[in-house]
Amino acid sequence: METFPSTQTELEKIGNRIKALRKQRGYRSYEIFAYEHNIHRSQWGKYEKGANLNFVTLVKITAVLGVSLKEFFSEGFD
């Protein structure tokens, strides 16, 4: 029987990738990044911690981060 990774583990990988890309853009603080991109800061913080998000939200996040979905998933995912 094939086993699949846990949903929470995958969400944490997405959160880690969001955080890494934010830092690559030179933002040490997620709050400043969220403010400058007109995103509710507490929600952005939740995304970086691996909160559940829908596909449309992920597409919006990648746009704000300036990467394609392909680029987004190119690191940190098996």
| CATH code for the domain in which residue 15 is found | 1.10.260.40
Res 53: pLDDT: 92
Res 76: pLDDT: 85
| Domain assignment present for 59 | yes
Structurally, the chain folds into a number of domains equal to 1
| Domain assignment present for 78 | no
| Domain assignment present for 1 | no
Res 8: pLDDT: 85
- Name residues whose C-beta falls within 8 Å of residue 53's C-beta, 6 or more positions apart in sequence: 11, 14, 47, 61
Would you give per-residue pLDDT tens digits along the chain (78 residues)? Answer: 666 668 888 999 999 999 999 999 999 999 999 999 999 999 999 999 999 999 999 999 999 999 999 999 999 887
- Model pTM score: 0.88
- Find, among 37, 38, 19, the residue nearest to 28 by Cα: 19
| Domain assignment present for 77 | no
Domain with 46, as residue range(s), is: 7-72
| Domain assignment present for 33 | yes
